Amino acid sequence: MNIAFIGLGNMGAPMARCLIAAGHNVTGFDPVATPDGINCAPVAAGAVQGADVVITMLPNGHILSVVCDEIHGSMTAGAVHLDCSTVDVQSAKNAAQAADAKGLMAVDAPVSGGIGGATNGTLTFMAGGTSEAFARVAPLFDIMGQKAVHCGASGAGQAAKICNNMILGATMIATCEAFALADKLGLDRQSMFDVVSTSSGQSWSMNTYCPAPGVGPQSPSDNSYIPGFSAELMLKDLRLSQQAAEATGASTPMGARATQVYADFVELHGMGGMDFSAMLPHLAGDFND
């Protein structure tokens, strides 16, 4: 396929490289980044001309709206706008409506898996849009990821991502609190992991992404908490969950508390640039503010 990729940051650039390695013709655009190995156009509208699929990976819903205004008029009728950003549900729906008005198809497909997943082509995609649009971009999901789930109509992908990361944020806090408590009780961290990872307390945060260095599979905790998924991005997603909860009248007390805990971690203690699992050394008192 001819593919345009708008947004070549920490996630977008490795995703684009996976597509290039698979033989697709990729033209990129980013107002700041100029990553090696990716042919880039000087403007977004130029990058999308003649593209079968335009992929966007952008910071927020406002920027997504601005980019839609910039690119939809230059895209080929019938092309697909595949947005892999994590934004609010309404922004995803608005992008799909804007695409439809220009004779385009749209899929919102935020990802899970972090920078490592983007680099290794093992992301999980949560997709919203028509079955026809999903089928058009499914081969690209197979290249960039290990799993793609069609969750429903436009906006459903963002809804799934928001719910997933609300769980992730809350379980990571609980995991880190448990390790900090175990330290105070004199329980060895390896013993803690050996019990919990095979008992009812097991979770992805414990078993796959353990926040304790030297315990469990390799994770950012073993690399000085250099982010695979930063605390500031976790806070962004948790705030999206609470925005959605307020809009729908859903009761999410744990989600609300997790949002506040990460807000304090990022904004009061300045830890936004660290991995979100760095909540453990913070709670254990290993950081000096």
- The set of catalytic residues is 161
Cβ-contact 142, 116 below 8 angstroms: no
> Is residue 145 packed enough to be buried (19+ CB in 10 Å), middle (13-18) or exposed (0-12)?
buried
C-alpha 129/C-alpha 127 separation (Å) is 7
Residues 6 or more apart whose CB falls under 8 angstroms from that of 173 comprise 258, 261, 262, 279
- DSSP assignments along 52-100, one per residue: SEEEE--SSHHHHHHHHHHHGGGSPTT-EEEE-----HHHHHHHHHHHH
Q: Say if strands 25-29 and 111-112 run parallel, antiparallel, or are unpaired.
A: unpaired
Q: Is 275 helix (H, G, I), strand (E, B) or coil?
A: strand
Question: Which among 154, 188, 8, 145 has a CA at the least distance from the CA of 81?
Answer: 154
Ramachandran region, residue 244 (left: φ > 0; alpha: ψ -120 to 50; beta: rest)? alpha
Q: Residue 194's CB: how many other CB atoms inside 10 A?
A: 13
